[in-house]
Amino acid sequence: MTVKRAFDIAAVLLGAIVAVPIAVLIALLVRVNIGTPVFFIQRRPGLLGKPFHLVKFRTMTNRVDKDGALLPDAERLTRFGRFLRSTSLDELPELWNVLKGEMSLVGPRPLLMEYLPLYSSEQARRHDVQPGVTGWAQVNGRNAISWEQKFELDAWYVDNHSLRLDLRILALTFLKIIRRDGISAEGSATMERFTGGGGDRFLDQKRHIERASRQMDIR
């Protein structure tokens, strides 16, 4: 077990004393204010792009238009959901993903599976480490910065991650939550979708994942 993994487990188990009662209360409030299901569960790419099921509290309704298509995020995001997002309380269930070893407390945020073939080889490096509940990009702009800036920050973290840096990011995350900075992108309720990183993205991503897998086998 690595030092990072041991720290994640110890921190989650210690924090559970406070986190579990809060999570139970939030689950009840989500049930009353938004409805069921209480949790939002979605496949996301983890280490080396391997899929796992990320768990969060729901912040949106399932309202649809006359054709049965989901309404835009801004119309489905409830007032209570905005509060959960602005305080990052919707992320609490991800501590379960951390305990299971699918995520770390700190690392690049796990995005959508559909983004995998859109990354350049440099952007795909974000999958060289476990995804995190919070990360270097989150404390340096969160959703208020561009996708390119986020991915540059993620790559920097991959090259420089350490327990000391993780502790710094966790402290900065707490300050960000208190200040509620960078909750959404300008002109968007959340963040605009990523549409591509340039170049032969699919081949770059495939080669990168294969190379990283071979390196992991060697280690």
User: Model confidence over 84-121: pLDDT tens digits?
Assistant: 998 999 999 999 999 999 999 999 999 999 999 999 99
Cβ within 8 Å of residue 121, ≥6 positions away: 199, 204, 205, 207, 208
Average pLDDT over residues 174-182: 78
The residue extents of the domains of the chain are 3-218
Q: What is the structure's pLDDT at 179? A: 79
pLDDT band for position 218 (cuts 50, 70, 90): very low
Q: What is the arithmetic mean of pLDDT over 163-170?
A: 96
Q: In this structure, how many other beta carbons lie within 10 angstroms of the beta carbon of residue 64?
A: 11
CA distance 132 to 137: 11
Number of residues assigned to the chain: 219
Q: What's the pLDDT score for residue 201?
A: 45
> Structure pTM?
0.81
Considering only residues 62 and 56, tell me which one the structure prediction assigns the higher pLDDT.
56
Percent of the chain with pLDDT over 70: 84
The rounded mean pLDDT for the chain is 86
Radius of gyration of the chain measured on its C-alpha atoms: 18
Work out the average pLDDT over 179-184: 62
Is the pLDDT at 1 greater than 60? The verdict is: yes
Distances 71 to 30, 43, 66, 74, 104 between C-alpha atoms, Å = 20, 21, 10, 8, 32
Q: Where do the H-state alpha helices sit in the chain?
A: 3-33, 73-76, 79-86, 94-99, 147-160, 163-179, 201-218
